[in-house]
Amino acid sequence: MSAVELARPRDPFFDLVEAEDPAPILHRLRAEDPVHFVEPLGFWFVTRHDDVKRLFNDPENVSQSRTAWEHFRPAPEGTMLRWLEEKSLISPQAPEEHLRFRSLFNGALTPRAVRRMDEQIRQVVERFAAPLRNRPGEVLDLMGSFTAPIPNSVIGRIFGVPSDSDLRFRDLAQQLIRGFFPFAPPEALVEAEGALQEMAPWVRSMVAERRLRPGEDLISDLLRTQEVDGNLDDDDIVLLASILIGAGSETTNLVGLVLIRTLLQHPGPLKRVREDRSLIPNAVDEILRFAFGGPAGMQRFAARDFVLRDRAIRKGQMLILALGGADRDPAVFPDPDVLDLDRDTRESLAFGHGPHYCLGASLARQEMGCMLDAALDIVTPGSRVREDLMEFQPMGVFKRPLNLPIEIAS
């Protein structure tokens, strides 16, 4: 290492990634350098709420398509990932085309439609919660046995994945979506390719089966739509189903982990929720605001040269919209570092904003509420997170938890 390298100050972004509590570093960046250039990695890190909210829907200046990134390299010719890049929602789309694809799922994922699924969701949650109750003195991995399998089982039911196949489908879906994490390592891309090679024919066979025997599931609904929308072909259905199953299972899995871990670290709010389960919906939204995101965020790519807070953003550069920075912004949320179950969280950006607001937000909230309700009966009073036993998997510059060890009170 040269003397110049030794003298160069460490970028605060790396301290942020490694910090147990990223909030102090996020506060400093937001106050002093709200559009921070992470020089070693060549991207902009945006931490103020109003900037993040604007960039969620600013097609004049930024794109959500990875193909707009200056370092984008297409997947090799002939691979499934190349097919996905060229065919799916991650490809460049006109706004009207983006809205058309979203409208295909709107009917199935509205709050009213999701409420009708409440009993199905609770059945899935109970299937995984029942074996975990009444286990005093044991250390349970509530990620592997609870938060990971539930989301994919739920979305699998919505798409009509057979229950005896949903765990394998979950693994494939999560491997696929991890290939699109920022700065995903080469091995994640290899796994994503293998997952899509196995997953796409599986979904295609379900499409063929539902064409012969339609059911009450989302693939059947898409096939009915296909009869009146000549632009929707089987490839669209395969890719939309694969991406939504992957995104829905991985994100909700990690949020479920965050919900349980955060409440166990905050005895006061935990006691309130235990005693009054009607607080669960508020608790879900407030914990998402308080604890979800950290150093991570949503990617955008500069569609042209533009200026943001006196910073010259160059066409093709990546911007990471820091959800943890936006949702702890004191300009929007008073006392942002307090977990307040009575807080108005309507300005939270945990699910995005505008046309890119998360399509599955209603479903995710319903799942997370049911998961938290069941978890409160598993993690009895006095239970604790065994932080010393937690394991993490490197995912480029970020890390993904692999377990959630909870010591159940005796």
For residue range 114-159, list pLDDT tens digits in order. 676 788 889 999 999 999 999 999 999 999 999 988 887 887 777 7
Strands 384-385 and 62-63: unpaired
- 353 inside domain: yes
52: left (phi over 0), alpha (psi -120 to 50) or beta: alpha
Q: What is the DSSP string of 299-313?
A: EEEESS-EEETTEEE
Residue 300 has pLDDT above 60, yes or no: yes
Q: Residue 119: its pLDDT value, please? A: 82
Predicted confidence band of residue 279 (pLDDT cuts 50, 70, 90): very high
Cα angle at 400 between 398 and 405, to 5 degrees? 140
Q: Residue 6: its pLDDT value, please? A: 42
- 204 inside domain: yes
Residue 88 has pLDDT above 70, yes or no: no
**Structural domain tally of the chain?**
1
Residue type, 69: W
- 1 inside domain: no
Q: What percent of the chain has pLDDT over 70?
A: 86
Which pair of structure tokens corresponds to residue 367? Answer: 């799942």
Residue 225 CB burial class (10 angstroms; 0-12, 13-18, ≥19) = middle
Output the average pLDDT for the chain. Answer: 85
Residue 321 CB burial class (10 angstroms; 0-12, 13-18, ≥19) = buried
Residue 4 has pLDDT above 50, yes or no: no
- Which residue(s) pair with 300 in the sheet? 319
- 54 inside domain: yes
Q: 301-326: per-residue pLDDT in tens?
A: 999 999 999 999 999 999 999 999 99
- 3 inside domain: no
The C-alpha atoms of residue 354 and residue 48 are separated, in whole angstroms, by 17
Q: Residue 176: its pLDDT value, please? A: 76
Predicted confidence band of residue 341 (pLDDT cuts 50, 70, 90): very high
Q: Residue 5: its pLDDT value, please? A: 43
Residue 102 CB burial class (10 angstroms; 0-12, 13-18, ≥19) = middle
Residue 329 has pLDDT above 90, yes or no: yes
- 280 inside domain: yes
- 125 inside domain: yes
The C-alpha atoms of residue 13 and residue 39 are separated, in whole angstroms, by 10
Q: 6-15: per-residue pLDDT in tens?
A: 445 689 999 9
The C-alpha atoms of residue 322 and residue 310 are separated, in whole angstroms, by 19
Q: 225-249: per-residue pLDDT in tens?
A: 777 766 677 777 777 777 677 666 7
Q: What is the DSSP string of 118-183?
A: HHHHHHHHHHHHGGGSS-TT-EEETIIIIITHHHHHHHHHHHT--GGGHHHHHHHHHHHHHTTSTT
- Which residue(s) pair with 350 in the sheet? none
- 4 inside domain: no
Record the pTM.
0.85
Q: Which range is most confident: 213-222, 240-249, 265-274? A: 265-274
The C-alpha atoms of residue 166 and residue 240 are separated, in whole angstroms, by 17
Predicted confidence band of residue 252 (pLDDT cuts 50, 70, 90): confident
CATH of the domain at 285: 1.10.630.10
Neighbours of 394 (CB within 10 A): 11
Q: What percent of the chain has pLDDT over 90?
A: 45
Supply the range of the domain harboring residue 85.
11-407
Neighbours of 92 (CB within 10 A): 13
Which pair of structure tokens corresponds to residue 361? Answer: 């937000």
Residue type, 9: P
